[in-house]
């Protein structure tokens, strides 16, 4: 963003209660001052301290010319903030709202980039008046129904953030799957789903909430603390939240009464496994969308650098390592798909033999559709030249389950890699507009295969003191290279030694070797040599008598 917007950015943040990680005010920056780069986004990544621990310091270290500033908002409010032209990039987690942002032309790219995923959890008190932990530890819709029943009986409360944060949008999707609870229908513009209400039909504005349901309007961390204090009649507060924020706040001793009572929705439960999956995407704002707004200057260069940085393997690893002391990380990398090999490659094949490479390409975020129709390339690199450019030798396209089979006849020793370029994928076609995302390229080194050379159809002829050998060799010598035919011979039981060589030019398929030997009986063997390209081929030892 341009420096001229910094003052209005601060004023807007203070007026709305937004959290700004770093704010620069004052005169325009000098050449030595970092340039402001503003990211507006979900409070999940801020209240969990992922922003302060990984994103902000990591990006500023990689690009010290920028001052990373994060404005913490719920997803719906973050989108509104971005659409005002007061941010350069955005991190959000509500597909039913992101699709509208993209359709309106605010994204610089076709869709947002997948950056990481986590999970939602339900927190409850130790006495668990709704009996969630015992009856619905892996059934979030069932847990909500039990809380609603206990709330109606005056023994439980549900503490929601309200509004349109990504967490509330997902909460509404869950309420739509519950039974026995009076709900109203949330509009598609607000993410869809349902909300507890005293009346049915379309939700009013504001929603007529039952007495046991509380919409605080807080960001993620403060909302958990509100439920932990539970200053509501009847007590027994439950909070639906992301596990990253809960883990961080609990690790700091800030949460003393609440613990996880439901997580990891069972596949057989309503909504299945995806119902508690929390998927995050990052967007660069489109400068073209604000072409007619002279007071808006989107820092598109910084935004695209950030998208490339946050989806890089190094940053993805750092995200996955955050809060991972118990090998149960709350944020898992999702920028690139997984690529797994069906079976190991053979270490050696005979020249002319075909190898079959089977692999599966999959989006690592649970609940996403198969990656079908994706081109997977098979690349080869000579083992003696690991820094050389890989060469495309074959390719295949994934089927409806993301599986691909690639056939190839190796012509030389090589290390093989499967390579997949950037992927554009519609992840939810049931939404209108559809929701899609961008996945980063990925590759997988699958092993080294050596090619055993072959000498076939070897025939000999004798003329005077000359021995002539003809036949077919495989594989052919690669372009730009040469091989050698070496005839080893000896009389009696002496050691076979080279008695003649012949250069094999690139592309040659047949050979014709003639060597003059003295009179007598000779033992001989022919070799096809191309060091670093194939395993040496050789005939068996044979005998010939020359006059």
* Helices assigned H by DSSP within 242-394: 243-251, 300-310, 313-321
Specify the range with the lowest mean pLDDT, choosing from 129-143, 269-283, 413-427, 471-485. 471-485
Q: What is the mean pLDDT of residues 183-192?
A: 98
What's the pLDDT score for residue 7?
31
Task: Categorize the per-residue pLDDT at 383 as very low, low, confident or very high, splitting at 50, 70 and 90.
Answer: confident
Q: What is the mean pLDDT of residues 411-419?
A: 95
Q: What single DSSP character describes residue 202? A: B
pLDDT reading at 5 higher than 80: no
**Per-residue pLDDT tens digits for 475-507:** 999 888 899 999 999 999 999 999 999 999 999
Question: Can you name the residues that pair with 395 across neighbouring β-strands?
Answer: 377
pTM of the full structure: 0.89
**Per-residue pLDDT tens digits for 437-450:** 999 999 999 999 99
**Per-residue pLDDT tens digits for 513-543:** 999 998 999 999 999 999 989 999 999 999 9
Chain center to CA of 38 = 24
Task: Categorize the per-residue pLDDT at 547 as very low, low, confident or very high, splitting at 50, 70 and 90.
Answer: confident
Rounded Cα–Cα distance for residues 538 and 530 (Å): 12
Phi, psi of 70 (to 5 degrees): -110, 125
What's the pLDDT score for residue 21?
41
Q: Which of 426, 101, 61, 49 is nearest to 252 (CA)?
A: 49
Chain center to CA of 346 = 29
Question: Can you name the residues that pair with 470 across neighbouring β-strands?
Answer: 459, 512
Integer CA distances (angstroms), 347 to 413, 446, 449, in order: 10, 11, 5
Rounded Cα–Cα distance for residues 194 and 178 (Å): 9
Question: Can you name the residues that pair with 500 across neighbouring β-strands?
Answer: 487
Rounded Cα–Cα distance for residues 85 and 431 (Å): 26
What's the pLDDT score for residue 386?
60
What's the pLDDT score for residue 339?
98
Q: What is the mean pLDDT of residues 12-38?
A: 51
Please provide the average confidence, as pLDDT, over all residues in the chain: 93
What's the pLDDT score for residue 478?
87
Sheet holding 510-516, edge to edge: 454-463, 466-474, 510-516
What's the pLDDT score for residue 388?
76
Residue pointed to by tokens 């007598």: 520
Question: Can you name the residues that pair with 147 across neighbouring β-strands?
Answer: none
Q: Do residues 523 and 541 touch, judged by C-beta distance below 8 A?
A: yes
Rounded Cα–Cα distance for residues 38 and 362 (Å): 32
What's the pLDDT score for residue 2?
40
- Pair of tokens at residue 391: 């060469």
Phi, psi of 275 (to 5 degrees): -65, -25
Phi, psi of 377 (to 5 degrees): -100, 145
What's the pLDDT score for residue 8?
30
Q: Which of 221, 213, 209, 181 is nearest to 50 (CA)?
A: 221
pLDDT reading at 397 higher than 50: yes
What domains lie within the chain, and their CATH numbers? 3-117+279-333 (3.40.190.10), 118-271 (3.40.190.10), 338-452 (2.60.40.730), 454-546 (2.60.40.2060)
Regarding predicted confidence, which is higher, 290 or 463? Answer: 290
- Pair of tokens at residue 102: 């993209």
pLDDT reading at 26 higher than 90: no
- Pair of tokens at residue 520: 């007598």
**Per-residue pLDDT tens digits for 235-291:** 999 999 999 999 999 999 999 999 999 999 999 999 999 999 999 999 999 999 999
pLDDT reading at 34 higher than 70: yes
User: Would you call 200 helix, strand, or coil by DSSP?
Assistant: coil
What's the pLDDT score for residue 382?
87
Residue pointed to by tokens 């530890």: 137
Question: Can you name the residues that pair with 502 across neighbouring β-strands?
Answer: 485
Q: Do residues 4 and 85 touch, judged by C-beta distance below 8 A?
A: no
Integer CA distances (angstroms), 523 to 463, 491, 528, 536, in order: 17, 6, 17, 19
Strand 89-92 and strand 35-42: the pairing is: parallel
Residue pointed to by tokens 């039981």: 493
Q: Do residues 398 and 373 touch, judged by C-beta distance below 8 A?
A: yes
CA-based R_g, the chain, Å: 33
158: number of Cβ within 10 Å = 27
End-to-end CA distance of the chain: 92
- Cα dihedral 220, 334, 403, 446, rounded to 10, equals -150
**Per-residue pLDDT tens digits for 342-377:** 999 999 999 999 999 999 999 999 999 999 999 999
What's the pLDDT score for residue 173?
98
pLDDT reading at 20 higher than 70: no
**Per-residue pLDDT tens digits for 283-336:** 999 999 999 999 999 999 999 999 999 999 999 999 999 999 889 999 999 999
* Secondary structure percentages of the chain, helix, strand, coil, to 5: 25, 35, 40
What's the pLDDT score for residue 248?
97
**Per-residue pLDDT tens digits for 499-517:** 999 999 999 999 999 999 9
**Per-residue pLDDT tens digits for 65-89:** 999 999 999 999 999 999 999 999 9
Rounded Cα–Cα distance for residues 309 and 444 (Å): 20
Q: Strands, E, within 363-422: which ranges?
A: 375-381, 391-397, 403-408, 414-420
Q: What is the mean pLDDT of residues 51-61?
A: 98
């Amino acid at each position: 963003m341009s420096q001229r917007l910094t003052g209005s950015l601060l004023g807007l943040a203070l007026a709305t209660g937004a959290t700004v990680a770093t704010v620069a005010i004052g005169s325009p920056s000098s050449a030595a001052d970092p340039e402001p780069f503003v990211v507006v986004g979900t409070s999940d990544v801020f209240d969990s301290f992922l922003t302060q621990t990984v994103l902000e310091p990591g990006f500023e270290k990689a690009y010290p010319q920028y001052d990373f500033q994060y404005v913490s908002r719920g997803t719906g409010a973050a989108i509104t903030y971005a659409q005002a032209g007061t941010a350069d990039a955005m991190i959000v987690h509500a597909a039913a709202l992101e699709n509208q942002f993209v359709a309106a032309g605010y994204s610089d790219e076709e869709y947002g980039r997948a950056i990481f995923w986590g999970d939602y959890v339900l927190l409850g008190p130790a006495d668990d008046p709704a009996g969630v932990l015992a009856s619905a530890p892996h059934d979030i819709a069932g847990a909500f129904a039990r809380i609603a029943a206990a709330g109606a009986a005056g023994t439980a409360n549900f503490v929601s953030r309200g509004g349109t944060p990504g967490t509330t949008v997902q909460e509404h999707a869950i309420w739509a799957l519950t039974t026995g609870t009076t709900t109203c229908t949330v509009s598609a513009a607000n993410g869809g789903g349902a909300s507890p209400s005293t009346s049915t039909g379309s939700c009013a504005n504001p929603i007529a909430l039952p007495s046991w349901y509380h919409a605080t309007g807080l960001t993620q961390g403060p909302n958990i603390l509100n439920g932990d204090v539970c200053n509501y009649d009847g007590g027994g507060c439950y909070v639906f939240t992301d596990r990253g924020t809960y883990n961080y706040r609990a690790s700091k001793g800030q949460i003393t009464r609440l613990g996880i009572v439901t997580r990891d929705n069972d596949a057989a439960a309503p909504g299945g496994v995806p119902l508690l999956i929390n998927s995050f995407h990052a967007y660069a704002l489109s400068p073209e969308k604000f072409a007619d707004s002279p007071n808006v200057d989107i820092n598109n260069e910084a935004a695209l650098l950030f998208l490339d940085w946050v989806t890089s393997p190094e940053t993805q690893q750092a995200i996955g390592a955050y809060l991972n002391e118990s090998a149960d990380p709350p944020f898992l990398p999702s920028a690139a798909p997984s690529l797994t090999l069906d079976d190991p490659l053979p270490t050696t094949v005979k020249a002319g033999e075909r190898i079959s490479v089977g692999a599966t390409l999959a989006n690592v975020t649970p609940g996403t559709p198969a990656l079908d129709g994706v081109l997977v390339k098979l690349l080869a690199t000579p083992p003696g030249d690991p820094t050389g450019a890989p060469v495309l030798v074959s390719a295949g396209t994934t089927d409806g389950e993301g599986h691909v089979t690639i056939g190839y006849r190796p012509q030389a020793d090589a290390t093989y890699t499967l390579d997949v370029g950037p992927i554009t994928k519609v992840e939810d076609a049931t939404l209108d507009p559809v929701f899609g995302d961008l996945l980063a390229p990925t590759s997988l080194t699958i092993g080294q295969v050596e090619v055993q050379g072959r000498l076939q159809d070897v025939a000999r002829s004798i003329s005077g003191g000359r021995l002539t050998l003809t036949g077919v060799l495989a594989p052919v010598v690669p372009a730009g290279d040469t091989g050698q035919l070496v005839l080893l011979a000896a009389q009696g039981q002496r050691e076979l030694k080279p008695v003649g060589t012949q250069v094999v030019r690139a592309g040659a398929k047949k050979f014709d070797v003639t060597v003059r030997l003295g009179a007598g009986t000779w033992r001989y063997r022919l070799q096809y040599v191309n060091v670093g390209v194939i395993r040496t081929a050789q005939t068996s030892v044979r005998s010939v008598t020359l006059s």
